[in-house]
């Protein structure tokens, strides 16, 4: 669930992403202005999608606030997060990360930009590119203008192979 909320002990209402526990209690996942995993503060949530699979949380595409102190620039502010099987928000991919450019064992390249969780043309609010088993497909563009599609499994037992 996404809502503007004022949380106890905090001033002002900000966009917040919540997840409902099995007992129905809402838990804060991400909030504008808060620090995301891997650094940087959330500036805008671009897209949020929730797979139907049991044990996996939401996928979140976000933009981070520019901050020289936190190392966020216009070139590396796009980020992708997921809620793992333990309910923890984790960093999946960010512009500036390195990924294998053509599958396992291939040379690693720096991610210039990526596209994930976009709606199909003509569909309002219907993100695509993920499945109910916690896997998300991402179109990655590298500085040399080559592209590849990578498939990232949300950690339930293993973590993505991204490095900064």
pTM (2 decimals)? 0.80
Q: What is the pLDDT of residues 91-145, one digit of tens each?
A: 999 999 999 888 778 889 999 999 887 777 776 666 667 776 778 888 999 999 9
Give the angle 133-135-136 at the CA atoms, nearest 5°: 145
pLDDT tops 80 at residue 90: yes
**b/e burial code for range 121-156 (CB count within 10 A of at least 16 → b):** eeeeeebebbeeebebebebbbeeeeebebebbbbe
Per the listing, tokens 């599609």 go with: 149
Q: What is the pLDDT of residues 32-46, one digit of tens each?
A: 888 999 889 999 988
Domain segments of the chain: what residues?
Answer: 2-153
Considering only CA atoms, give the Rg of the chain. 16
């Amino acid at each position: 669930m996404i809502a503007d909320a004022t949380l106890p002990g905090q001033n002002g209402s900000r966009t917040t992403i919540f997840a409902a526990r099995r007992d129905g209690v809402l838990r804060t996942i991400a909030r504008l202005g808060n620090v995301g995993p891997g650094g940087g503060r959330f500036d805008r949530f671009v897209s949020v999608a929730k797979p139907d699979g049991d044990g996996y949380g939401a996928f979140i595409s976000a933009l981070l606030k520019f901050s020289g102190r936190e190392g966020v620039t216009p070139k590396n502010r796009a980020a992708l997060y997921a809620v793992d099987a333990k309910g923890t928000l984790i960093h999946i991919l960010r512009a500036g990360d390195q990924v294998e450019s053509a599958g396992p064992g291939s040379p690693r390249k720096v991610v210039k930009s990526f596209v994930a969780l976009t709606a199909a043309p003509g569909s309002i609010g219907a993100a695509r590119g993920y499945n109910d088993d916690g896997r998300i497909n991402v179109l990655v563009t590298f500085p040399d203008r080559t592209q590849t599609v990578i498939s990232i499994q949300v950690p339930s037992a293993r973590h993505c192979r991204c490095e900064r």
